[in-house]
A and B are shown apart, each in its own frame.
Chain A
Amino acid sequence: MRKFIDIRHVWALSPKQIKPFLYQMLMVGLLIGVAYLLFISTQENLEARHIESGFSFLSQEAGFPIGDSLISYSPSDSYGQAFLVGIINTVYVAIICVILATLVGIVIGIAQVSGNPLVSKMAEVYVEVLRNIPVLLILLFVYGVVLIGLPSVRDAIEFFPGGFLSQRGIYIPRPSAGNNFSILIISILFGVITTVIFLYWAKKTLNETGKNYPTIWISIVLLVLPPIVINSLIGNTLIWEVPELKGFNFKGGWVFRPEFAALVIGLVLYRGAFIAENVRSGIMSVQKGQIEAANALGIPANRTMRGIVLPQALRAIIPATTNDYASLVKDSSLAIAIGFPDMVSIGGTMIGQNGQAIEVIAIWMAVYLSINLFISVLMNIANKKFKLVER
Chain B
Amino acid sequence: MTIIFQPAPDLTPPASKVGIFYWARTKLFNNLINSLFTLCGIAILITLTPPLLNWFLFDAVFIGTAETCREGQGACWSFVHAKIKLFLIGPYPMELVWRPITAAALLFGLFFATARHYLSSKKAVIGWMLLPLPIYWLIGGGFGLEVVDTSDWGGLLLTLVLAVAGILASVPIGIVLALGRTAKNTFIKVISVSIIELVRGVPLVTILFMATIMLPLFLPDGVEIGILYRVQFGIILFSSAYIAEVVRGGLQSIDSGQSEAAKALGLNQWMITALIVLPQALKIVIPPLIGRCIALLKDTSLVVVVGLLDFLGIAKAASQDAEWLGFDAEAFVFCAFIYWLLCFSLSRYGRSLEARGQNSH
Residue numbers of A with Cβ under 8 A of B are 1-4, 20, 24, 27-28, 37-38, 41-42, 44-46, 48, 111, 114-119, 122, 128-129, 131-137, 140-141, 144-145, 149, 330-331, 333-334, 336-337, 344, 348, 351, 357-358, 361, 364-365, 368-369, 372
Contacts and interface: CB of A to CB of B under 8 A. Distances in A.
B301 A137 contact: yes
Contacts of B184: 1-2
Interface in B311-358: 312, 315-316, 328-329, 332, 335-336, 339-340, 343-344, 347
A114 B37 contact: yes
B214 interface: yes
A42 B328 contact: no
Nearest to B35: A116
A345 to B, nearest CB: 9
B187 interface: yes
B202 A330 contact: yes
Top 5 nearest A-B pairs (CB, nearest first) are: A132-B343, A330-B203, A333-B203, A134-B301, A134-B298
Contacts of B312: 134, 136-137, 140
Interface in B46-88: none
A305 B63 CA distance: 54
Contact of A348 (B40, B44, B209, B347): B209
B214 A144 contact: no
A372 to B, nearest CB: 5
Contact of A330 (B40, B44, B204, B343): B204
Contact of B340 (A118, A129, A144, A331): A129
A119 B37 contact: yes
Given A111-B37, A129-B340, A336-B205, 18 more contacts: A2-B184, A2-B186, A20-B185, A45-B217, A115-B34, A116-B28, A116-B37, A118-B37, A118-B38, A137-B339, A140-B332, A145-B328, A145-B329, A344-B209, A357-B214, A361-B210, A361-B213, A368-B206
B216 A45 contact: yes
A136 B301 contact: yes
Contacts of A132: 294, 298, 339-340, 343-344, 347
Interface of B: 27-28, 30, 34, 37-38, 40-42, 44-45, 184-188, 198, 201-206, 209-210, 213-214, 216-221, 294, 298-299, 301-302, 304-305, 312, 315-316, 328-329, 332, 335-336, 339-340, 343-344, 347
Contacts of A336: 205, 305
Contacts of B27: 115-117
Contacts of B34: 114-116
B38 A141 contact: no
B38 A135 contact: no
A337 B304 contact: yes
Given A140-B316, A364-B202, A365-B202, A128 B214 contact: no
Contact of B298 (A119, A133, A333): A133
Given A134-B298, A136-B312, A140-B312, A365 B214 contact: no
A119 B38 contact: yes
Contacts of A137: 301, 312, 315, 332, 335-336, 339
Contacts of A351: 209, 213
B202 A369 contact: yes
26 contacts: A4-B187, A20-B185, A24-B185, A27-B187, A41-B220, A115-B27, A116-B41, A117-B28, A118-B38, A131-B343, A132-B347, A134-B302, A141-B329, A144-B328, A145-B329, A149-B329, A330-B203, A330-B204, A334-B302, A336-B205, A337-B305, A344-B203, A364-B206, A365-B202, A368-B203, A368-B206
